[in-house]
Structure 1
Amino acid sequence: MNYMDEHILSLKNKFNHDAASNNENTNRFQADVPDQDNSIAEQNRVLRMGDELIPLEWKTILDGQMAVSIPKFFSLMPLEQARFKYPSEHRPQIIYTSLDGTVNVTFNPTESALEVDELPEFVEQMADVLRSVQPIRNWIGTEMIVNPSGLSIGMIRFVAAGVDVNLYNEMLLFVHEGQVTMGTFNCMESDMEAWLPVAENTVQSLHIVPLPSDSTCEKGAIRYESGLR
């Protein structure tokens, strides 16, 4: 997406300023979901895409506090590739990508404080900003859902012009520990129908990971530079 993260950061600063007026990178980990979360981890082991069965794998994000199910062959985007694909210094902190780099799932915490009941209004404000700054080719719309884990998620879907092709974008907004976290799923518009099940699985699988009493789960770490922290 064309510098979407800069527009998001600008919007985030605007919301923080408005809230103040009215009322007066870090390490990211990937790991298997702990055994304590088996009730959800047993789900979403494979996903059907057309005639294919896609193996899925759980990843923990946000310092291991949340988990999401994504295709097993997705991997964390190397920093040099991330710098090229997301030239803004405010690139997402967590970027999972397909083997050819055309399908991406990202997550980015912000410092925007928000109550869960304020999320629907926030989503509509975000949608207004996106419509004003993005080269929209097809505006699909917004939606609020509560997924199986009870997490409230606002979704914004649209097709925007990329450098060479149109891109399908699905933005996810949810509140984690009192602050907004932004997720995105994007792929080429021509591949949109094939990849929609993966986008849906991402939304439905997001959940908080219960804190284990004595977890020995090994975690690998990767660091992306970001101006958000």
Structure 2
Amino acid sequence: MDYLDEQLLENKRKQKKEQYRSLETGFYICNELVKFGRVTIAPLSLSIVLPTAFVTMPQSMVKVKYQSENRPQVIKTSLDTRVNFTFSLLSQAVKPEQIASLAKQFRTVVQRVSPANVFYDLKEERTVEEVPLCWFDYKGYAVDEQIYYIMYVTPWGKGKLLHGTFNCRFRDKDEWKEAARQAILSLKLEEGDNNS
């Protein structure tokens, strides 16, 4: 009888995953419906569709979690801080046709810094505004856990480059990958001080 109950539960989980597969419907992630909504990150002149429960990580926590001086400028995080989207705007003019080679350079740097990382896809896609965006994903290692990362780059405004990451526990990779990819591709330029 337990086997049948387990099969029924598994079938229900599969149905929910098929039913909730977009930013509009939400995603069924780790047995929970995660809803998404567009948020504006004014200091970086961008908006993005993220999980509605995510918050901006306080600077005090950012300094602990990202000890390098090159820490991200803005981090949106789950309440338990296990799932993060990071954003940094760099003063670097990049032509759309250069974005793939730039992503390869970023991947090479990440590989040199941590040779144990395992790399997967490298793809060029377009944001909702038809701006080229290149991303790659990989498995990295924290002190006590394996981490799944998606790193991306895209031209941003006039003479800027948007660089960001998504990360979660590696064991949750298959739960989060498509939701994170769709979120990253939802990036939109919002008019602001950073574009002049």
- SS of 2:130's equivalent in the other structure is coil
Match of 2:170 among 176, 189, 206: 189
- SS of 2:26's equivalent in the other structure is strand
Aligned to 2:103: 123
One-letter amino acid of the counterpart of residue 129, structure 2:
S
- SS of 1:63's equivalent in the other structure is helix
Aligned to 2:14: none
Poorly superposed stretches of 4+, deviation over 4 Å: none
Q: Mean alpha-carbon deviation: is it higher for 52-61 or for 181-190?
A: 52-61
- SS of 1:148's equivalent in the other structure is coil
- SS of 2:43's equivalent in the other structure is coil
Rounded Cα–Cα distance in structure 2 between residues aligned with 1:129 and 1:96: 24
Match of 2:60 among 80, 92, 114: 80
Displacement of 1:54: 1.6
Aligned to 2:129: 149
Matches within 5 A, 1:1-229: 44-50=23-29, 52-61=32-41, 63=43, 65-177=45-157, 178-209=159-190
Displacement of 1:52: 3.6
CA RMSD of aligned residues (A): 2.0
Rounded Cα–Cα distance in structure 2 between residues aligned with 1:106 and 1:64: 11
Displacement of 1:148: 3.0
One-letter amino acid of the counterpart of residue 94, structure 2:
L
Displacement of 1:57: 2.0
Rounded Cα–Cα distance in structure 1 between residues aligned with 2:37 and 2:60: 24
TM-score (norm 2): 0.78
Rounded Cα–Cα distance in structure 2 between residues aligned with 1:93 and 1:83: 11
Which has the bigger relative contact order, CA under 8 A and spacing at least 6?
A: 1
TM-score (norm 1): 0.68
Q: Percent identity?
A: 26
Displacement of 1:210: 6.2
Displacement of 1:62: 5.0
Rounded Cα–Cα distance in structure 2 between residues aligned with 1:61 and 1:76: 10
